[in-house]
A and B are shown apart, each in its own frame.
Chain A
């Protein structure tokens, strides 16, 4: 179990995290989402024991990150967004390095390397130099390096950036396997559909503040009032007056407190006007919609 208590962190005058509090139960896949600069990486770096000096604490299985960093590090496998690999060395050499950094050696280490290579699908390429690997293979090896000490908690920071669908699928199956083994996963990504698909709980963070923390269903109940989605070649915004509308794809989202009643009214109106909708359906918001609802759509370049 992970308990984050009143966690705050600043970089000089910049407040990166403010009073973050949440818990993650053992075996949970916790999705951490937020715009760039929201504080996700800072939070993960503190948990992984990389950043010193912060206020509050995180307790991981009885061990305090502030006071018992070494014990916490043994429990955590940290997979950074960057590909932290020695490219001039082989896949096996890279795994050997990280295994030894966690104090594993000898036959145990060799067996663990073989297991991890199988898990990440690189057994055949173990003696090849990483320089010759594809992006997806490097991502998988990047994950493998964090699994050798069989951590109870795996922190994944954008593990699927810039890879092909096959590699993404392979990474998803690694995550599923980790979950089946009982690992707790903290998963950060900008791909909302991935977080929706993989995570049991979702934490939404912005400007260093945890805006929401709950299950997808819980978030849906709170923010997910369904809308109507209408599209059709001849349907224009004026046909949807006086409802509140927003363009989406090649149609419009019609927002109303009672979408079913609106749907009936619109059907009548379209029939009267002889308009042929291509799609007229209830639209349940996705995580991305909730994300925009809470964080806005303004660019976050700073």
Chain B
């Protein structure tokens, strides 16, 4: 497992694309949208910052799905997965080895974006323990969905398209782009079924209301269930993924 994790981490460090999607693009989005919305009449600066930074952080964590599925599809197409399956490593170790580096990257991404918020926009952080726990669960959800997508999709393009739908559609419906209170009633009901909404709710509870781990049990539970479903799909789809693998 650690052999795969170490190799995956090394590969990702060399991959400039992942740096762009994970750190540069989200920071650019935050700068632009904070500038646009903080200039509007009747909108408080603090309100803008506490909506946009955690909201965009949650949204961009899902972009890791692209990197995960590209890695898995490359492994499948190059026969790497079949070759690894010929070694004594178990399915769970293979998934864990692939998954851990992406968890690290997403946690690093959340840390960098929040740090950027603190340094540039005076973003309050709240309880650090709750923030770390919330980030772990958020990273678990995004990466496990990435694993599920990676074993299910046939082509890279199909995966990227679905990721955009999940990341952008989820952001829109989950209220990551604008406060849920200003959305129509029907949207306010729909968003309760979107995990992204619960991601943002958790962060808001910590940042705005100084909530602790116990105060965010509901978002944590929903993210955990969502993540577990992703893992389950990934494990179930592994045999099919293996069948499609070249060797």
Contact = CB atoms under 8 A, between A and B. Distances in A.
Contacts of B247: 41, 45, 50, 80-82, 157
Contacts of A93: 7, 10
B11 A101 contact: no
A50 B89 CA distance: 11
B interface residue count range (under 10 / 10 to 19 / 20 to 34 / 35 or more): 20 to 34
Interface of A: 11, 41, 45, 48-50, 52, 70, 73-74, 76, 78, 80-86, 88-89, 93, 96-98, 100-103, 145, 157
A40 B18 CA distance: 39
B83 interface: yes
A80 B82 contact: yes
B83 A80 contact: yes
A102 B247 CA distance: 19
Interface in B205-247: 239, 242-243, 246-247
Given A86-B11, A89-B10, A101 B87 contact: yes
A46 B15 CA distance: 35
A157 B86 CA distance: 13
B79 A82 contact: yes
A97 B247 CA distance: 18
A80 B80 CA distance: 9
Nearest to A70: B88
Contacts of B78: 82-85
Interface in B61-110: 78-80, 82-89
A84 B7 contact: no
B79 A86 contact: no
B11 A81 contact: no
Contact of A97 (B7, B15, B82, B246): B7
A50 B242 contact: yes
B73 to A, nearest CB: 14
Given A80-B79, A82-B78, 10 more contacts: A48-B86, A50-B86, A80-B247, A82-B247, A88-B11, A88-B15, A89-B7, A96-B3, A101-B87, A102-B88
A15 to B, nearest CB: 16
A82 B74 CA distance: 12
B200 interface: no
A82 B83 CA distance: 9
A11 B4 CA distance: 30
B87 A98 contact: yes
Nearest to B11: A88
A73 B88 contact: yes
B3 A101 contact: yes
